[in-house]
Structure 1
């Protein structure tokens, strides 16, 4: 079950980040000096993916422009002798083979992934949500790919969440088979704390077999007429083995205001040229807050 292709759904409206997402795709929000989706694409590349399909929608043209070559800018930088900046810009345009297809109506994550069926062409594939950044030594999606290839099964990424937050996520009913790995027996979408079978929440990384497309076609629309991926995974579970891998690393939901701020802080502190100044400023601001 070798995984070569990845699908990045990036057609959502980004309502949690309004008003800025009225004119800018949430996937293009800057984390330090790169857009969110740059980190997601980099993760896929580090895991060995060499073919990426991005599902876009209306108002998402900036994503395509970002990963395209910019000959005018490259010419300007070359003429000005800005060698480092030129190298960065050229590398973006040469990162990996990226393809695009549009989701014309906002009918949910499941519908967005269904648009990838022709491109996937019967192969297993990775899914990385475009508003989740996961900072880890080993690429998060690569952690799932290893399990999928070893177990010949679908694998979903999970993390532990506090009981009071389970109602925000899809939650697995799982049986531990080894450290950090669970055999999935069932999935529940946004249960109450009393109804939740565990506190292991599904996050934005998956490795799926092509049979998931049949499951998506069988999935009836839910609230708002949207097709939910979790519902389709429940159907797939009746036909294929499924595992959940507790992902190692720090996840930031950068589609939320708090996640966006925290990701910027973490990745600013990881940059040697920024670390000292950012640390000093944070210490100053914190002291001012404590002093009232």
Structure 2
């Protein structure tokens, strides 16, 4: 069923410990990449995907974010902010946004990830929100023996091609043991109201953290499906939670 998604939740609460000490002063999402902060690239990405309302879930250590972006009027958008300091894992910002989403499907974006489509092409997020089901994610396909550290793995994949098609993930595809290629989640989701119940039903990990991917896997295991939309080989994605990837992003935006 076709519907228009106009809301986005942006998770920007992480401490940025891998980029300390500078992140004690400047949030990692506000570090410059090209002519603007990393997070401002995401704002432009959301606007291009026709998102009008954005909730930033921040920590109290990041007053620079609301100070910089304000009400969103300068972007023709409406920005709200919610503070979350409990360090309860990447699933927690989703639960914090439950009432704000007003039981409508929404985009979830992680603010330290910079994603750009190939020149003169539709941005990946536009492809994700165009008619996809209410449980969808952008992915990057990696060879199983070359997965970068800290990627969130989804399941087995076919080798990437120039027009990689969407894949419906059900229970039998989640296991990637023995696969030559794997899908890794690429920090952009479309989620429906089901996700809040799925998160509440999901037990935290031993450290007390709640992970979105655990809730999604649990939801799939009960007979539901997730649609994975692979990034194209010439799309760019930088997970700027470490200096090496951040420098790669800065270099790419200079070229």
TM-score, length-normalised on structure 2? 0.86
Q: State whether structure 2 residue 154 is matched by structure 1 residue 168.
A: no
2:185 paired residue among 202, 211, 214: 202
Deviations 1:75-112 (CA, angstroms, capped at 9, x unpaired): xxxxxxxxxxxxxxxx9734411111111211111011
CA displacement at 1:139 relative to structure 2: 2.2
Larger Rg: 1
Map of 1:120 onto structure 2: 101
Instruction: Tell me if structure 2 keeps the 8 A contact 1:140–1:205.
Output: no
Distance 2:250 2:227 in 1: 32
- Residue pair 1:173, 1:185 contacting (<8 A) in 2 also: no
Q: Give the counterpart of 2:195 among 206, 212, 219.
A: 212
Moved more, 251-260 or 194-203: 194-203
Aligned with 2:126 (options 133, 142, 153): 142
Q: Which runs of 5+ in 2 are unaligned?
A: none
Question: Are 1:242 and 2:188 an aligned pair?
Answer: no
- Asked if residue 102 in structure 1 is aligned to residue 86 in structure 2, the reply is no
Q: Could you tell me which runs of 5 or more consecutive residues in structure 1 were left unpaired when the two chains were aligned.
A: 70-90, 270-292
Q: Does 1:262 align with 2:245?
A: no
Q: Which has the higher contact order (CA 8 A, sep 6+)?
A: 2
How much does 1:197 deviate?
8.2
> Higher helix share goes to which structure?
1
TM-score after normalising by structure 1: 0.76
Q: 1:58 maps to which residue?
A: 60
Structure 2 Cα separation of the partners of residues 183 and 174 of structure 1: 11
Paired residues in the alignment total 241
Question: 1:268, CA displacement in angstroms?
Answer: 1.7
Q: CA deviation at 1:239?
A: 5.4
Is the Cα–Cα contact under 8 Å of residues 142 and 181 in structure 2 kept in the other structure?
A: no
C-alpha distance in 1 between matches for 2:103 and 2:116: 30
- RMSD in angstroms over aligned alpha carbons? 2.4
